[in-house]
Amino acid sequence: MISTPTASSLWENLADNSLQKIAPTFSEAMEILKAPREDTLSIVHAAYRVRRHFHGNKVRIHVLQNAKSGACPEDCGFCSQSSKYETPAAQYPMMEVESLLEGARKAKEAGAWKYCMVTATRGPSNRDLDVICEATRRIKQEVGVKVCTSLGLLTADKAKRLAEAGVDRFNHNLETSKRLYGKIVSTHSYEDRVQTTKFAKEAGMEICSGGIIGMGEELEDVVELCFALREVGATSVPVNFLDPRPGTPFSHLKTVEPYFALRVLSLFRFVHPEVDVRSAGGREVTFRSLQPLALYVANSIFTNGYLTTSGQGENADHQMIRDMGMVPEVAGGEFNA
């Protein structure tokens, strides 16, 4: 155990360090996750000092577009879009450019900072890339919202094409620790994923990479994931909480306890003070009535649902942000509803 006079001063010391961009040590990170429930609000308060310093009262809203759904050849145990499992997830082929453009317009109307086109694939085919690149060029010209894509594994050439088309950021989650990865997915490796983040970064795109909490991991796995995301240079870190999907191997798991989820988000904030830490998929079912507290730590959310589950919707999200005294940040300023 770390010997400081009071637990509260420990959390404040972590905040002081984080304000100077000094990350917690591994053992300090473990202390955050192991802290008793009654320490959680003190931890959130300390994390809020960091959030407020680097991100003010702004919230970056992201909107996901499931551009190609289901029938994925990969076997990620948490995912209802895998062809290996019988699930009720929708299946449809790659959307047309016009539909992706329309989605971007709606995202902008919803106050989005970023529009993220996602495909359920091992990696993008050349035809997928043609569509995504053309959609990106037109979104940049005609809509004016930042673009992220999540298309599975990349090669250096494919990453270059996306960057040249104007994709700002590429999402590729590490999902969990290196140690546990093989138990979550067998059709590709943790190293494959790290390599794709390198290709995307070398091509000039920012890296969005996070993970999913609640897949049976140990606390050490959460800490390892958190530090690994620093190593891959993520500028956006979605922290998802497992919402167990029927038909998947993880359907029997339970959502994590909301106070624990707040400590997880706080850990990510201390380790990633300047980056966009997102209270991401599963936030509604995990935090339940404590959901607004996550905004004291995270400076970003998705609105209007996730890839295979619906969220609480943009009106409720905007109301929550206003109730917290915060404002959505959009390209070029603040969002005015």
Catalytic residue at 76?
yes
Identified catalytic residue from 193, 208, 226, 283:
208
Task: Please give the backbone phi and psi of residue 4, each rounded to the nearest 5 degrees, phi first.
Answer: -125, 160
Smallest separation, CB 264 to ligand SF4 (Å)? 20
Smallest separation, CB 8 to ligand SF4 (Å)? 39
Amino acid at 241: F
Nearest residue (CB) to ligand SF4, 10 versus 213: 213
Catalytic residue at 226?
no
Smallest separation, CB 185 to ligand SF4 (Å)? 7
Long-range interactions of 27-30: CB distance < 8 A, separation 24+: 27/2, 28/2, 29/223, 29/226, 29/227, 29/267, 29/270, 29/271, 30/219, 30/220, 30/223
Identified catalytic residue from 49, 51, 60, 72:
72
Cβ neighbours for 237, distance < 8 A, ≥ 6 positions apart? 208, 209, 210, 229, 268, 272, 275, 276, 277, 278
Longest dimension (CA), the chain: 61
Size of the site for ligand SF4 (CB under 6 A): 8
Catalytic residue at 133?
no
Nearest residue (CB) to ligand SF4, 72 versus 294: 72
Catalytic residue at 278?
yes
Nearest residue (CB) to ligand SF4, 6 versus 187: 187
Catalytic residue at 208?
yes
Tokens of 183: 């138990």
Tell me whether strands 327-330 and 333-334 are parallel, antiparallel or unpaired: antiparallel
Smallest separation, CB 82 to ligand SF4 (Å)? 4
Distance CA 336, CA 122 (A): 39
Residues numbered 65-124 forming contacts with ligand SF4, rule: CB under 6 A: 72, 74, 76, 79, 81-82, 120
Amino acid at 14: L
Distance CA 307, CA 280 (A): 11
Residues numbered 121-160 forming contacts with ligand SF4, rule: CB under 6 A: 152
Task: Please give the backbone phi and psi of residue 73, each rounded to the nearest 5 degrees, phi first.
Answer: -75, -10
Q: Does residue 279 interact with ligand SF4 by CB under 6 A?
A: no
Catalytic residues: 72, 76, 79, 116, 148, 208, 278
Q: Which stretches of the chain bind ligand SF4, using CB under 6 A?
A: 72, 74, 76, 79, 81-82, 120, 152
